[in-house]
Amino acid sequence: MLIWYKKEIGGGILYTIHQWLLLFYLYCFAGWIWESGYVSLKKRKWINRGFLKGPLLPIYGSGAIVVLVSTIMVQNNTFLIFIIGMIAATILEYITGELMERIFHVRYWDYSDKPFNINGHICLLSSLAWGIFSVLLVKIANPKIANLVVMIPNQVSEIIAYLATIFITVDAVQSFNEAINLKNVLVKITERNETVSVIKKRLEIVEAFINEDIKDLQGRILDKLEIQQERKSEKKTKKAMHIEAIIRKNLSITEEKIRGLSEKISLYMDKLEGVPFRGSEDTEHLKLEFKEYINKLRMHESRIHNTENNVYIKSIKIFLEAQMKLLFFDTETTSVRPGHICQLSYITVDTSTKPQTTTGKNFFFTVDEMDPAAEEVHGFSLEKLYELSNGLEFLEQIQDFMSDFFDADFVIGHNVQFDVKFLKHEVNSLYEAGMIDCSWEPKKTFCTMAYYKNICQIPSPSGNGIKNPKLSEVINFLGISDDTIAKKADELFQGSGNYHDARFDTAAVYLLVIEGMKKKYIKPGFFSSQL
């Protein structure tokens, strides 16, 4: 057996074969601790990131050995250690990632969302990290670890190394076989997907034949809805005219009474002028009192004229507000860019009914991909969403909620334009694809973030002016407790969640408006005045 004994070569050190093996296994273990610990903290649950069953990540051990071997001749030059280590480790990472995907059809890491990546196997940030790792390894970590390994007697270290090799070889064979089985499962899934595609095509052919019948049915439904809308509008107009007639009648009666009283007092004053004891101080005092009273009455008369229209308009606005439909909503999404909605929660307030009705609805949707940053915010993984949605996608549930959005006079949310943008993207994409018959645009929107900005007056971190307040900041400003929000969410959705759960956030937005009205931050008739 070829043995490399420890000796100096160009400033570096070579070790025996079993010492190299021990170093390899130690770095495999260290890499496993680092990666599994990091990912587990991010996901808030334990995740074994190793390909093997044992606590080892060979990519880290291989990377460490490749770096140590490739930098043996330049260990006294930190810059060259960085460059050579970065290049060597990056090449290893790319080759390993490519082979793993080709053999098992599974990606064990993916940098596709990172800038300057190549096929998702490597990226600039990862390569720079390898360079820093190389310097830390060669200059700091390895000298200490290697000294401990070298201190172990050769015979002992050799036994440990070869026993570990046998254990890891068995583990690797079993893990490889399991991965191959996984590959076969994925192949079967792919075949089933192809079968599903064939069925979908057949359904499209069938749909082409019944499409005209569907359109005819839709036309009849729309005509019926239009007739109903006209009737509602007619009822609203009649009621408004009735209110106007009542108000004008009451004002007219009041005017006539005051005018009559003024005339009577004027006649009395004329008679008073003919009284012979004109010079009496009592008489003059009495005349002055009457004149003052008449002036007050006439001022009151003119005030009625001036306020008549205002009273009428305000009354009509109150009536109209009683016919409004308000919709409070929030979404959780797969990314910050218009992509897909994974949760939609909303509260409808219909004030046309007596008493008014308040309803909460919540929907989860199955999605194909999830930005890790988005998942970190709301905590919904692809697996969790599949479970919560019963495997149903946005298209399969759209008929259950979109009518509420079409009917809403106001769509209300915190940073509402963000959520509107995502919902429009989802709906309009389906419309453009010919899967639904109409696009969507909200009638009116109300953003609690923009509205409360000047009310809360929260200084910007940069020191320039005030900032847009977060949902939690407005909640704290109005003195609404988290328990109050959770109770309201439980009442409307039978599940409260917490901040960044759409149910909780929607309930919070609803309370922002209700509490704002109570505390006069939102004036009575505000929404009706915007129509």
Residue 1 Cα distances to 4, 16, 65, 80, angstroms = 10, 11, 21, 33
pLDDT at res. 113: 82
Pick the residue with more confidence: 80 or 310?
A: 80
Averaged over 217-237, what is the pLDDT?
62
Task: Work out the widest C-alpha separation in the chain, in whole angstroms.
Answer: 149
- Cis amide prior to 58 (ω within 30 degrees): no
pLDDT at res. 288: 64
> Does the structure show a pLDDT above 60 at 278?
no
pLDDT at res. 345: 94
Rounded to the nearest 5 percent, the helix, strand and coil shares of the chain are 65, 10, 25
> Does the structure show a pLDDT above 90 at 239?
no
pTM across the whole model:
0.43
pLDDT at res. 228: 61
- Which residues is 447 bridged to in the sheet? 413
* Least confident among 31-40, 48-57, 59-68, 106-115: 48-57
**Confidence at 446, pLDDT banded by 50, 70, 90:** very high
The CA-CA-CA angle for residues 338, 456, 503, to 5°, reads: 45
pLDDT at res. 132: 92
Q: How far apart are the first and last CA of the chain?
A: 90
Minimal CA–CA distance to 360: which of 515, 485, 528, 482?
A: 485
pLDDT at res. 474: 95
> Does the structure show a pLDDT above 60 at 9?
no
pLDDT at res. 327: 95
The answer to whether 153 touches 143, Cβ cutoff 8 Å, is no
Report the percent of the chain where pLDDT is more than 70: 66
- Per the structure block, which two tokens stand in for 236? 């609203």
Burial of 256 (0-12, 13-18, 19+ CB in 10 A): exposed
Task: Kindly provide the b/e burial profile for residues 149-183, where b requires at least 16 CB atoms within 10 angstroms of the residue's own CB.
Answer: beeeeeeebbebbeebeeebeebbeebeeebeeee
Report pLDDT digits (tens) over 219-228: 665 666 666 6
Report pLDDT digits (tens) over 455-511: 999 998 888 889 999 999 999 999 999 889 989 998 898 766 666 688 999 999 999
Q: Residues near 109 by Cβ (< 8 Å), separated by ≥ 6? A: 97, 121
**Confidence at 97, pLDDT banded by 50, 70, 90:** confident
pLDDT at res. 466: 92
Averaged over 223-234, what is the pLDDT?
64
Averaged over 134-160, what is the pLDDT?
85
Pick the residue with more confidence: 211 or 427?
A: 427
pLDDT at res. 439: 86
Q: Which helix (H) or strand (E) holds 339?
A: none
Q: Going by DSSP bridges, is the β-strand pair 445-447/341-350 parallel, antiparallel, or unpaired?
A: unpaired
**Confidence at 12, pLDDT banded by 50, 70, 90:** very low
pLDDT at res. 309: 46
